[in-house]
Amino acid sequence: MHLARFPRVRLFPTPTPLEKLENLTRHLGGPEIWIKRDDCTVVATGGNKIRKLEWLVGEARAQGADHLITQGAVQSNHVRQTAAVARRFGMKCTALLERRVGTNDRDYLNSGNVLLDRMFGCAIEYRPPGLDMNAEAVAKGEALRAEGAKPYVIPGGGSNRVGSLGYVSCAQELVQQADEMDLHVDRLVTATGSAGTHAGLLVGLQGCNAGIPVLGIGVRNPKDRQEAAVHSLAEATADYVGVRGGIPRATVDANCDYIGPGYGQPTDGMKEAVLMLARLEGLLLDPVYSGKAMAGLIDLIRKGKFDKNERVVFLHTGGQAGLFGYTGMFEHAMEQTG
Ligand SMILES: *Cc1c(COP(=O)(O)O)cnc(C)c1O
């Protein structure tokens, strides 16, 4: 793999920290849990979309674009990160927000990521749930082009073969970082949503023959659909970067048992995980992705699915700004648990 062939902008210093979670490891009695801090990608409170945007905005600039268009749920971390990066490069940003989570909660609708989108001067349009949101974004791009803009349309979550390069590159970074620390990594665990993170990691790890399996914890789709989405994007990305032989379907592993009632809907496990990491490690997870992924990891550990001597790296994909879209729910959870 030779990623320098593709246009890129640089947005944050690498490598992001790789740290041992001593207290959580002790609390759960093994395996050894480490965390890769992709919440520390600097721009606009950070998160995994910043890695993808390095390549997406690189391509947008190479094409002479002056306006980024993207889409997501109301509390989308991806939209917030895209809106910020657009400003950094003097571009406009238009976001289509899908009312995917049925709630009238004031903080959900106005605070957290939505507040930050507005601070970055992002033009927001709302859409009802259930539309083909990527098609909506393409149509919006065409409308802006007709008005004289030079649009660049980024799919939801930045998940296409260009955005996935961010996680091909992250996999290379992690392997090199672990090697320098003499750290043998047995498994990588990540939240998996629009699939670009999971797919990019599989391609990057395969491309460096790392032999590190990836477990994705789903936040939206049933297992079959999630694995199919990750596999098809991984194949497209492998082809794009020239990883020969493709990505075997059997290496795509998504556990979708921790979604609860649906995307962005709180679960007891998520609340427990967010509070556990806050109180044991002084670390902030988010309610939609990393909180549910950590809830999955904790539950699977309790069920004995990991060897006590294994070393697991949890990829922290960010999203803390989303906590402020869910304040009432956490206030309630803390009243219950003290
Ligand atoms: C988008 C997002 C994810 C999921 O990443 P995908 O590439 O969409 O699968 C995980 N965590 C956070 C905080 C996110 O914002």
**Per-residue pLDDT reduced to its tens digit, 92-105:** 999 999 999 889 99
What is residue 338's predicted lDDT score, i.e. its pLDDT? Answer: 76
Contact predicate 80/44, CB 8 Å: yes
Determine the 3-state secondary structure of 166 from DSSP: helix
At 5-47, the pLDDT tens digits run 999 999 999 999 999 999 999 999 999 999 999 999 999 999 9
At 104-159, the pLDDT tens digits run 999 999 999 999 999 999 999 999 999 999 999 999 999 999 999 999 999 999 99
At 201-247, the pLDDT tens digits run 999 999 999 999 999 999 999 999 999 999 999 999 999 999 999 99
Is residue 276 pLDDT above 80, yes or no?
yes
Is residue 87 pLDDT above 80, yes or no?
yes
Residues 240, 221: Cα–Cα separation, whole Å: 26
At 43-65, the pLDDT tens digits run 999 999 999 999 999 999 999 99
Helical segments of 63-189, H only: 77-88, 106-110, 112-119, 133-146, 165-180
Banded pLDDT at 336 (limits 50, 70, 90): confident
Q: Is the CB of 73 under 6 A from ligand 1?
A: no
Compute, in degrees rounded to 10, the torsion defined by CA atoms 229, 235, 241, 242.
180
Could you tell me the distance, in angstroms and rounded to a whole number, from the CA of residue 161 to the centre of ligand 1? 15
Is residue 1 pLDDT above 90, yes or no?
no
Structure tokens at 41: 């990608």
Banded pLDDT at 191 (limits 50, 70, 90): very high
Q: Is the CB of 6 under 6 A from ligand 1?
A: no
Could you tell me the distance, in angstroms and rounded to a whole number, from the CA of residue 290 to the centre of ligand 1? 8
- Best CA proximity match to 93, nearest among 48, 60, 47: 60
**Could you tell me what percentage of the chain is helix, strand and coil, using 3-state DSSP and rounding each to the nearest 5?**
50, 15, 35
CA-based torsion, 330, 312, 1, 249: positive or negative = negative
This prediction has a pTM of 0.98
Share the mean pLDDT of the chain.
Answer: 97
Residues 86, 107: Cα–Cα separation, whole Å: 25
Contact predicate 242/208, CB 8 Å: no
Contact predicate 195/78, CB 8 Å: no
CB neighbour burial string for 163-180, b if at least 16 within 10 angstroms, e if fewer: bbbbbbbbbbbbbebbee
- Best CA proximity match to 84, nearest among 40, 58, 121: 121
Q: Is residue 169 among the annotated active site residues?
A: no
CB neighbour burial string for 198-230, b if at least 16 within 10 angstroms, e if fewer: bbbbbbbbbbbebebebbbbbbbbeeeebbebb
Q: Is the CB of 77 under 6 A from ligand 1?
A: yes
Q: Which residue has the tokens 């106005």?
A: 110
Is residue 282 pLDDT above 90, yes or no?
yes
Is residue 337 pLDDT above 90, yes or no?
no
Could you tell me the distance, in angstroms and rounded to a whole number, from the CA of residue 146 to the centre of ligand 1? 32
Mutate to test the pocket of ligand 1, among 167, 197, 253 (most ligand atoms within 8 A of CB): 197
Contact predicate 71/62, CB 8 Å: no
